[in-house]
A = this chain, B = another copy of it.
Amino acid sequence: MWTPVRRRSVSDEVFDQLKSRIVRGEMAPGAPLPSERKLAELLGVNRGALREALKRLEQARLVSIQHGGTTRVESFLDTAGMDLLTEMLFTSAGTLDTQVVRSVMEMRSALAPDIARLAALRASEDDKDALLDLVGQMERQARDRGKRQRLAMAFWGTMVAASQNIAYRLAYNTLNRSYQQFFEVMTDVLAAELDDLAAYRAIADAIDRGDTAAAEKRTTALISKGADQVFELMNALEAEATKGDAR
């Protein structure tokens, strides 16, 4: 399989650089940015390209721009949206940020059961068929855990759509993007969850017959399997990191 080359435009580069600096705390909240003209010169880019990046930063609520005034760094922890997760996932050293991973998994654990409940309540016939079909495909891929993981992704995507909850759906989009970044690592860690084909089947069946309680309960059980493994791994990573610090 070939991976397409990704071209990075000047404005994207500038956006990433500033975003990274802000999130990593190199520029404190409240601190003023250089004026557009100066900053453009410092970065060696045209002012227009810089402005495109700044506008994006403003929309992500990482900076606030004031006509005639100063552009300042926002206290993004109180303003930014979930898109920041992908940025915060890795530390400046390039290692996984265990706290962020834990956060994502906790959110997944909190949302999935309610998504299942609502799906059981509101799923259309098409949704039900799609879910049952996906489970069938997973059962036929008993060997290949990687393929099953992709099918599981589709399963959850269908669940979220079936839940008819737009907030869940949008949150899912972002959440998904963030843990597709440690996809390969996850496949092994989530083994306990991905191997439990009976659970997926039980959930799909519960939704098919509109049994909200069963759907919720089964989902809680399934999701916690993967979550527990990840929590364990994160704890181990943290223990190792502090041991490294102690040297």
Contacts and interface: CB of A to CB of B under 8 A. Distances in A.
Main secondary structure on chain A at its contact with chain B?
helix
A30 interface: no
A58 to B, nearest CB: 8
A170 B82 contact: yes
Given A78-B173, A173-B79, A107 B55 contact: no
Across the A-B interface, the 3 shortest Cβ-Cβ residue pairs: A103-B167, A110-B114, A107-B167
B164 A175 contact: no
The complex is assembled from copies of this chain, and their number is 2
Interface size class of A (residues with CB under 8 A): 35 or more
Interface string A47-89: 0100110011001110000010000000001111111110010
Nearest to A48: B48
Interface of A: 7, 9, 11, 48, 51-52, 55-56, 59-61, 67, 77-85, 88, 99-100, 102-104, 106-107, 109-111, 114, 118, 157, 164-171, 173-175
A57 to B, nearest CB: 9
B170 A84 contact: yes
Contacts of A85: 166-167, 170
